[in-house]
Amino acid sequence: MEAKLFSQTGAEVGTIQLDDYIFGITPNVPVMHQAMVRQQANARLGLHNTRGRGEVDGSTRKLFRQKGTGRARAGSIRASHRKGGGVAHGPHPRSYYQSMPRKMRRLAVRSALSAKIADKAVVFVDALTVEKPRTKDMIACLANLKASGKTLIVVAVRDDMLTKSINNIPGVKTLPAHYLNVIDLLTHDNVIVTQSAVAVIDSYLGQAVNVVGEDA
């Protein structure tokens, strides 16, 4: 697969070869959905907690005698149906962690990339460089690349200058290529990928990697 390559000024400077195994597959929607649910679940802290009847303050004295009053039996003021009582069957701290095979995780990312390519929502640039942190320069760069709305910028490695230039732009996020994930790809309208980031993506999502490290 071949795609156009642009400079950060928006000028077309050539083409870039893309691996069909990564950028040209038929998206596997169920796997993408499973990967998204897993990622959201694993981000949950699970710290919610309620106190049961054995944990709230209150006397253990029986409220009134068992028989002869004509009232229902009552044994504790801390029962869940009384004011100030414990919560019955309430939530307690737990882990929401979900596992997913590595092959499926990689398939989900490849599917998301292919879906973005099919939607013509990916722009490839030869490089993104700034001499000093300057938001105005990055706003101009995004305008040159016609990236409006929420935009994900994928770079090979973290660049502090670039990150500081983008931090104040609403809806724009930078992400190192090794941290590509389904949620970031699908929740952004546009994806800008640098040429060096494509090489990093190829290094761990390419077909040769999956054949050699199949059981890794």
Task: Over range 17-41, report the average pLDDT.
Answer: 96
Output the average pLDDT for the chain.
92
Residue 190: count other Cβ atoms within 10 Å of its Cβ. 22
| CA–CA separation, 179 and 157 (whole Å) | 10
Decide: 183 and 40 in contact? Cβ < 8 Å: yes
State how far Cα 198 lies from the chain centre.
Answer: 20
- Of 95, 116, 135, the residue at which a domain comes to its end is 95
Give mean pLDDT, residues 82-105: 95
Q: What is the rounded CA–CA span in Å between residue 20 and residue 25? A: 6
Residue 88 pLDDT more than 90? yes
Residues 31 and 62 in one domain: no
Are 115 and 192 in a shared domain?
Answer: yes
The number of domains in the chain is 2
Does residue 112 share a domain with residue 33?
Answer: yes
pLDDT (mean) for 53-72: 92
Give which of 156, 140, 143, 164 is closest to 204, Cα–Cα: 156
Any residues with CB less than 8 A from the CB of 15 and at least 6 apart, and which?
2, 3, 4, 5
Please compute the mean of the pLDDT values over residues 40-53 and round it to a whole number: 95
pLDDT at residue 209, as a whole number:
66
| Confidence at 47, pLDDT banded by 50, 70, 90 | very high
Q: Is the pLDDT of residue 216 over 50?
A: no
CATH number at residue 11: 3.40.1370.10
Which of 79, 95, 111 is where one domain is finished?
Answer: 95
Same domain, 204 and 117: yes
184 and 155 fall within a common domain: yes
12 with 81, same domain: the answer is: no
- 180 shares a domain with 130: yes
Residues 53 and 142 in one domain: no
Q: Are residues 33 and 109 in the same domain?
A: yes
Residue 122: pLDDT band with limits 50, 70, 90 = very high
Burial class of 181 by CB neighbour count within 10 A (0 to 12, 13 to 18, 19+) = middle
pLDDT for the residue 148: 87
pLDDT of residue 81: 92
CB-count exposure of residue 141 (10 Å: 0-12, 13-18, 19+): buried
CB contact at 8 A, 113 and 197 = no
Q: How far apart are CA 108 and CA 112, in angstroms?
A: 6
Q: Is 91 left (phi over 0), alpha (psi -120 to 50) or beta?
A: beta
Q: What is the C-alpha separation between 184 and 195, in angstroms, rounded?
A: 19
Q: By residue range, what is the domain housing residue 73?
A: 45-95
In whole angstroms, give the CA distance from residue 48 to residue 150.
Answer: 32
pTM for the structure as a whole: 0.84
Q: 55 and 159, same structural domain?
A: no
Mean pLDDT in residue range 153-161: 92
Q: What residues have CB less than 8 Å from 206, skipping those under 6 apart?
A: 19, 21, 22
Domain boundary among 63, 95, 127: 95
Same domain, 34 and 108: yes
* Pair (61, 20) in one structural domain: no
Q: Kindly indicate the confidence band of residue 215, based on its pLDDT and cuts at 50, 70 and 90.
A: very low
